[in-house]
Amino acid sequence: MQGKKTYQEKLFVNFQLSDYVPADNFYRRLKEQLDLRFIYPLTAEYYGTEGQKSIDPVVFMKLMLVGYLENLNSDRRIISASRLRMDILYFIGYDLGEELPWHSTVSRTRQLYGEHVFTAVFKRVLKQCIDKGMISGRRQAVDGFFIKANASLDSMVEKEILEDATTFGRELKANEDEDKESPVLKLKEKQGCDDKGLKLESNPGNDTHYSPSDPDAKMSVKPGKPTALNYLGQVSVDTASHMITCAKVFLADKRDSQCLPAVLTYLTSNLKENDIAIQEVIADTNYSSGTALKTLQAIGITAYIPNTGRFKFEREGFIYHSEDDYYECRNGKALTFSGISENDKRYVIAGKHCQGCPFKNICIGDKKYMAIKTTIDKPYYDQMHLRMQTKKAARLMKKRQSTVEPVIGTLVNYLGIKKVNSKGLDQANKCLNIAATAYNLKKLLKYKPRTIKSDLQELNKASKLLNKVISKADKLILSDNNYLSRLFDIFTKHPVINF
């Protein structure tokens, strides 16, 4: 017999939200793991003792986490999605039919709280991960990425034009000019600008233009991508567990190498609070600079950073003698140190010393002197160059690609950090901190501690592999040094046999 369902709402319903959220639900497990009550004393300074009660700080922070966990970069969408999801309602502590906070209240509260509140949440979750043994802290991989700002290139105006227009407008108003046309527009037309303040047929840049809606947003571009107003996010990831250990936002007109000293300061502080010392840092060529290398050596961290292409370890046809600080040419003549210009050291030889040299046309030609420029930080670059020639360095660079880059991809594509929904550098830092917290929380809930059973299984796999290696070794000549080297590589690089 064919059934037909008819719907009629019950007048009275006995309903309890906790009964309808499964025990294995993500937000139910997150509610059990995450204790945010420490936020109350941190945010007490932002409230008075009278007036209407504002949004609960813990509820606000949970709504922020929901936004990034659900890849929602709009406060309006966060409230709408929460209203339709029983598990989210249970997580934030609201019941069915209970009125949620207005989205504008969420926006204002995010602006109200200082950056230290969001950093404290990130550090608390990081400590939970460390306490569970998820982070070793020994080796960190650092990388940067652009975060789209909440501003448009069309809104940019020229700095000088805007300042001159303000002065010009005050003067005209003081003189009570009868002309009703806008003095700002008159000045712009006079100086060859359009109605947005941009000079006609000119290329705006960070030095000459800015966005009034978000002055901290800077123009930047990635290869193959259009120019946009961005921020520069920097993320440090633990290579052993892929957990984020530091997340910081900088102005997009800075280079990665300029941000590295500050990133190291925040990173070492985060881990030092949990009695963890960093030993190694991995980064790409963009982080190579004299200042960055000196900072790393000063704090005792071994870095693996490929030198920038401008650095030359050796000069063709010249030999550098570090003991006496001079270069020797192919004909045995010395190029002596002549002085420092900015950050470069100059080594010079006069043309009169090159008379009769068979290599004169190749080196000095018709010039009066021959000069070689090298950076004053050459010893640091030389040390890094030699370190990057090792097998370990090649292995670690591949490790960097498989750790920090996928983490950044997850933040951008799945955790709502592709574009910030706020304005200002401080607000962008708050957004990245909460996105990184959401990422670590997902890793925390998926983590399964190692057990004796799992260790025995790994040992069993290692034993079988060892037997295979020994059986192959019996068939080869053990005195072959190349074979022994390959055998050693198997033991040191294999994920199971990793002594």
Same domain for 167 and 280? no
* The pLDDT of residue 470 is above 70: no
* The pLDDT of residue 188 is above 50: no
Mean pLDDT throughout 405-420? 94
Same domain for 98 and 25? yes
Query: Which pLDDT band, with edges at 50, 70 and 90, does 336 fall under?
Result: confident
pLDDT confidence of residue 221: 84
CB count in 10 Å sphere of residue 202: 12
Of the three residues 361, 380, 399, the one that is the final residue of a domain is 380
Which pairing describes strands 344-350 and 228-238: parallel, antiparallel, or unpaired? Answer: unpaired
Mean pLDDT throughout 48-72? 92
Looking at mean pLDDT, say which of 20-24, 343-347, 487-491 comes out highest. 20-24
Q: Which two tokens stand for residue 38?
A: 């420490």
* The pLDDT of residue 488 is above 90: no
Mean pLDDT throughout 9-31? 87
Mean pLDDT throughout 105-115? 94
- Which DSSP string corresponds to 67-116? HHHTT---HHHHHHHHHH-HHHHHHHT--TTPPPPPHHHHHHHHHHS-HH
pLDDT confidence of residue 161: 54
List, in order, residues 6 or more apart from 269 with CB less than 8 Å away. none
Whole-angstrom distance, CA of residue 499 vs CA of residue 494: 9
Whole-angstrom distance, CA of residue 110 vs CA of residue 123: 18
* The pLDDT of residue 83 is above 60: yes
Whole-angstrom distance, CA of residue 432 vs CA of residue 118: 9
Query: Which pLDDT band, with edges at 50, 70 and 90, does 80 fall under?
Result: very high
| Domain-located, residue 1 | no
Query: Which pLDDT band, with edges at 50, 70 and 90, does 192 fall under?
Result: very low
pTM: 0.77
Same domain for 146 and 95? no
Same domain for 104 and 46? yes
Q: Which has more pLDDT, 101 or 324?
A: 101
Q: How many domains is the chain partitioned into structurally?
A: 5
CA atoms within 13 A on the CB side of 320: 17
Same domain for 145 and 157? no
Same domain for 277 and 198? no
Query: Which pLDDT band, with edges at 50, 70 and 90, does 185 fall under?
Result: very low
pLDDT confidence of residue 364: 72
Whole-angstrom distance, CA of residue 322 vs CA of residue 340: 16
Same domain for 326 and 302? no
Whole-angstrom distance, CA of residue 26 vs CA of residue 23: 9
Whole-angstrom distance, CA of residue 197 vs CA of residue 162: 7
| Domain-located, residue 253 | yes
Q: Which has more pLDDT, 449 or 123?
A: 123
* The pLDDT of residue 401 is above 50: yes
| Domain-located, residue 300 | yes
| Domain-located, residue 285 | yes
pLDDT confidence of residue 182: 47
Q: How far apart are the first and last CA of the chain?
A: 69
| Domain-located, residue 45 | yes
Same domain for 184 and 171? yes
What range does the domain containing 141 cover?
135-150+229-306+388-423
| Residue among 450, 439, 445 nearest 236 (CA) | 439
Mean pLDDT throughout 492-496? 55
Mean pLDDT throughout 266-278? 92
List, in order, residues 6 or more apart from 363 with CB less than 8 Å away. 317, 329, 330, 354, 357, 370
Whole-angstrom distance, CA of residue 225 vs CA of residue 208: 22
Same domain for 406 and 291? yes
| Domain-located, residue 12 | no
Over residues 143-164, the pLDDT tens digits come to 999 999 999 888 888 886 545 5
Q: Which has more pLDDT, 395 or 191?
A: 395
What is the chain's mean pLDDT, rounded? 82
Over residues 160-182, the pLDDT tens digits come to 654 555 554 565 555 554 444 44
- Range name among 38-42, 134-138, 427-431, 475-479 with the lowest pLDDT average: 475-479
* The pLDDT of residue 136 is above 90: no
Give percent of the chain above pLDDT 90: 49
Q: Which has more pLDDT, 53 or 251?
A: 251
pLDDT confidence of residue 352: 67
Question: SS3 string of 420-482?
Answer: CCCCCHHHHHHHHHHHHHHHHHHHHHHCCCCCHHHHHHHHHHHHHHHHHHHHHHHCCCCCCHH
| Domain-located, residue 120 | no
Which H or E element spans position 370? Answer: strand 369-375
Same domain for 206 and 59? no
pLDDT confidence of residue 491: 58
pLDDT confidence of residue 14: 75
3-state secondary structure of 4: coil
pLDDT confidence of residue 448: 81
Please give the sequence-ordered ranges of beta strands (E in DSSP) within 214-343, or none if there are none: 218-220, 228-238, 244-251, 280-282, 302-304, 318-321, 326-329, 334-341
Over residues 432-442, the pLDDT tens digits come to 999 999 999 99
Q: Which two tokens stand for residue 434?
A: 């909460």
| Domain-located, residue 119 | no
Same domain for 281 and 238? yes
Give percent of the chain above pLDDT 70: 80
Mean pLDDT throughout 393-416? 93
pLDDT confidence of residue 495: 52
Query: Which pLDDT band, with edges at 50, 70 and 90, does 451 fall under?
Result: low
Same domain for 289 and 274? yes
Residues 247 and 132 sit within 8 Å (Cβ to Cβ) = no
